[in-house]
Chains A and B, each alone.
Chain A
Amino acid sequence: MLEVVLRSLGVLAAFLVLPLVVGQTEHKVMAHMQGRLGPMYAGGFHGWAQLVADGVKFVQKEDITPRAADRWVFKLAPAVALVPYLVALAVIPLSATVVAADVGAGVLFVLAASAVGILGLLMAGWSSANKYALLGGMRAAAQLLSYELPLVLSVASVALAAGTVSLTGIADAWHPLWLVWQLPGALVFLIAAVAELQRPPFDMPVADSEIVMGPFTEYTGLRFAFFLLSEYAGIVVMSLLFAVLFLGGWRGPFSGVLGPVWTLLKGALISVLIIWLRVSWPRLREDQLQRLAWLVLVPLALAQLALTAGWVVLSSP
């Protein structure tokens, strides 16, 4: 019982710390990529506590529910968006032994959890009784439906190659050669993950130059902060998932001792890559977005799946 409590607390701590680390990294990396310094004051050393200060500010803000809004759905939406990522984080292994809950079908679990998180956006978009929020919610729904498929297909390819759907099993079966022949799948996964997270260049649902803030338009205070937190928690989950699935997770020198460090390091690299993409690339238009998903990613993922299947069949005794 004590162990369960400790593991849960560990996940909760990771859930509260890692997204903030990613957020702070985004602040600083994006600033320096734009020739700025970013936050410099909060906490003293290079503004390390900026997001903590932001959190304190969010708590103080008034929690407004629009009069025309559907109250219950409106209030529930941030939780629906946030909790699935917390649950998903619990099953992602940092090493063969460091994992909060070793679920047999771990990959499916993470994908299912992130799929549920999408509902939070839809609920927020609809219940705000705001046309911009509704438009954002619809864009989110269309985008997430399209990119769910390549995401699942590319994960299926890895699972096929490893012969298991357990995350620890996949990372154990990983081989450096995967970097070559699973590369298309990895690219598809990365692009689809960025699209699932609605990060630029796929931030059509929250395109602030067109529809204010999409589904979050009417949100204030802590509930808005929960949506932001869920975005960064999503980056953490997807980056760690990429590291475990495609980069071998805890493989590396001294993996016996430094296993979790390797996983976190690889995940951090992917997070920085996601931030880098945000700074560098312009936003895709809605039709370009759909075109990319259905005409490029899905065929690519299917081809990867066929390649993997052929390899597995030919190489198995």
Chain B
Amino acid sequence: MTTLTTVDVLFGAVGLITAASAVLAVTTHHLVHAALWLVVTLGTLAGCYLILGAELVALVQLLVYVGAVVVLVLFALMLTRAPMGRSPEHSSGFIQRIAAALVGAGTTALLAAVLLPALGGDIRPTRAGDTKGIATQLFGSWVWPFELLSLLLLVALIAALAVSRMPTTSLPSTTEAVAETPANSAGGESR
């Protein structure tokens, strides 16, 4: 065991906040608080990246996850329901909690078992974390996974568009009666 360096201490502290807020995000009874704890988790995760020297990844994490994804989550919450106090009707039962905790712990153990021996346990800031380094790696050695991922996203995008444009007549039985009404059939014909 070597002596603690500044990076170790910083990483430990930020990592602890990340883990704690993540736990709070899944255990809190307030719907919106869960989303806000998620913000803290993702933000401090960006802090972890920053401490490890991956500046670009940290900023993109902040821009995409905090700036867009969580905003989208909050927007959806506000659009549907955003109760002020606790919402016990959304809390899961005891058994499900136990099961979720077990699954979470299992995943953590699995990842730790695979990654720790593979990469080593010590914390080393990377030297290739700046924009140029990331770009060289991304479009060099990892170009095929990167392109495949972008293809996947494109497919998801087109699928989402297709779902939203799907004609109502093809929906299953419950809406058929509605679909038979003149207004809807007229709309279907005009397409």
* A interface residues, Cβ below 8 angstroms from B: 68-70, 73, 103-105, 108-109, 111-113, 115-116, 118-119, 122-123, 125-127, 129, 134, 137-138, 141-142, 144-145, 148, 152, 164-165
Contact = CB atoms under 8 A, between A and B. Distances in A.
B69 to A, nearest CB: 10
Interface in B25-71: 30, 32-33, 36, 39, 43, 55-56, 59-60, 62-63, 66-68, 70-71
B63 A68 contact: no
A109 B59 contact: yes
B128 interface: no
Query: Does more than half of chain A's interface fall in helix, strand or loop, or is it mixed?
Result: helix
Contacts of A127: 32
B165 to A, nearest CB: 15
B131 interface: yes
Contacts of B157: none
A119 B33 CA distance: 13
A142 B75 CA distance: 7
A145 B72 contact: yes
Given A112-B63, A119-B70, A145-B68, 12 more contacts: A68-B84, A70-B84, A104-B131, A108-B60, A108-B63, A109-B59, A112-B60, A115-B66, A126-B82, A141-B74, A142-B75, A164-B131
Contacts of A109: 59
Contacts of A108: 56, 59-60, 63
B79 interface: yes
A165 B39 CA distance: 25
Contact of B63 (A111, A125, A137, A145): A111
Pairs A-B, 6 closest by C-beta atoms: A115-B67, A112-B62, A141-B75, A112-B63, A108-B59, A112-B59
Given A70-B84, A116-B43, A119-B70, A104 B79 contact: no
10 contacts: A73-B36, A104-B55, A105-B56, A112-B63, A112-B66, A126-B32, A138-B79, A145-B72, A145-B75, A164-B131
B36 A148 contact: no
A152 B32 CA distance: 27
A125 B78 contact: yes
A162 B136 CA distance: 17
Interface of B: 30, 32-33, 36, 39, 43, 55-56, 59-60, 62-63, 66-68, 70-72, 74-75, 78-79, 82, 84, 130-131
Given A126-B82, A129-B84, A165-B131, A115 B75 contact: no
Contacts of A122: 71, 74-75, 78
A165 B131 CA distance: 8
Contact of A116 (B30, B56, B67): B67
A104 B54 CA distance: 11
Contacts of A70: 30, 32-33, 84
A125 B32 CA distance: 12
Nearest to B129: A104
B40 to A, nearest CB: 11
A210 B130 CA distance: 47
Contact of A141 (B43, B66, B78, B131): B78
Nearest to B135: A165
Interface centre among B30, B67, B68, B130 (most CB of A within 10 A): B67
A70 B28 CA distance: 14
A129 to B, nearest CB: 5
A141 B62 contact: no
A70 B33 CA distance: 10
Contact of B78 (A115, A119, A137): A137
A112 B131 contact: no
A119 B131 contact: no
Contacts of B60: 108, 112
B67 A112 contact: yes
Contacts of A138: 75, 78-79
A125 B36 CA distance: 13
Output the residue of A73, A115, A118, A123 with the most chain B CB within 10 A: A115
Given A103-B55, A126-B82, A116 B62 contact: yes
B71 A144 contact: yes
A193 to B, nearest CB: 15
Contact of B71 (A111, A113, A118): A118
B170 to A, nearest CB: 26
Contacts of A119: 39, 66, 70-71, 74
